[in-house]
Amino acid sequence: MHAPVSDPRDRLIVALDLPSVGAAESVISRLGDTVSFYKIGYELGFAGGLGLARELVADGRKVFIDFKLHDIGNTVARGVASLAGLGASFATVHAYPQTMRAAMEGKGASPLRILAVTVLTSYDEGDLAEAGYGAGVAQTVARRVAQAREIGIDGIVCAPTDAASVRAALGPKGAIVTPGVRPDGTAAGDQKRIATPFAAIRAGADHLVVGRPIVASPDPAAAARAVQAEIARALS
């Protein structure tokens, strides 16, 4: 079995999809000790967020760098080696075999865990067809998870609606991380394959990534606590 999540707060990863370090710091300070794990993606990362990542790590928080790397193997391996130096816990790559192998090589002996993104949660069957894939969502996810398992990836990013089949295909090792999480009554936005926090955990997710329902809420700490309460209920 993969290592259980040691601190239940670490089940919730808040996506700091915000335009500046100042905006992110303001949300982090409003969240206080409620949240222990943050994700930094394109928007904040390209606006100085990697410095903030180092500060968060120094402050004892966990950080997920989400740049969804996909490039030639040498570039991916060297990029991941640099990311490993930041002290992040998780980093994403797209689940292409060459990319996954390069990322696992690039992280070396560092504790950074590489997560492979299967099929984005904003994609449905029509989006995959439009992108030129002959296979549907379930088939593509299954193929990528089988390849990820063969490579010995550290974890998978998938839709909460795929989590149960991903666990079955991945076997007992490896973390399952699900974005596309929407508490009842919150807007889906551009997400297409979604579930509630309760359903995501029940389907076998180890960590949930939640952005707008928390960071765009008038009371981010209350929104985060509500998600954590649902997680606790699903685990009880």
26: amino acid identity, one letter = S
Tokens of 6: 């040691």
Q: What is the DSSP string of 109-124?
A: TSS-EEEEE-S-TT--
Binding of residue 196 to ligand OMP (CB under 6 A): no
Binding of residue 156 to ligand OMP (CB under 6 A): no
Angle at 56 between CA 50 and CA 57, to 5 degrees: 95
Question: Crossing angle for the helix pair 21-31 and 220-235, nearest 10 degrees?
Answer: 60
Q: Active site includes 190? A: no
Residue 124 assigned to a binding site: no
CA 68 to each of CA 76, 90, 134, 218: distance values in angstroms, whole numbers, following the listed order: 10, 11, 23, 29
Binding of residue 191 to ligand OMP (CB under 6 A): yes
Query: From CA 100, how far away is CA 118, in angstroms rounded?
Result: 11
Give backbone dihedrals phi and psi of 5, rounded to 5 degrees, phi first: -70, 120
- Which is closer to ligand OMP, CB of 15 or CB of 77? 15
Terminal Cα distance for the chain, rounded: 19
- Which is closer to ligand OMP, CB of 109 or CB of 145? 145
* Least distance between ligand OMP and beta carbon 4 (Å): 21
* Least distance between ligand OMP and beta carbon 210 (Å): 5
* Least distance between ligand OMP and beta carbon 42 (Å): 8
- Which is closer to ligand OMP, CB of 90 or CB of 102? 90
Show contacts with ligand OMP in window 70-129 (CB under 6 A). 92, 117, 120-121
Q: Choose the catalytic residue: 10, 62, 66, 124.
A: 66
Secondary structure element (H or E) that encloses residue 62, with its range: strand 62-69
Residue 94 assigned to a binding site: no
One residue of 31, 210, 223, 227 binding ligand OMP per CB under 6 A: 210
Q: List, as residue ranges, the binding site for substrate.
A: 17, 39, 66-75, 121, 182, 191, 211-212
Q: List, as residue ranges, the binding site.
A: 17, 39, 66-75, 121, 182, 191, 211-212
- List residues with catalytic annotation: 66, 68, 71
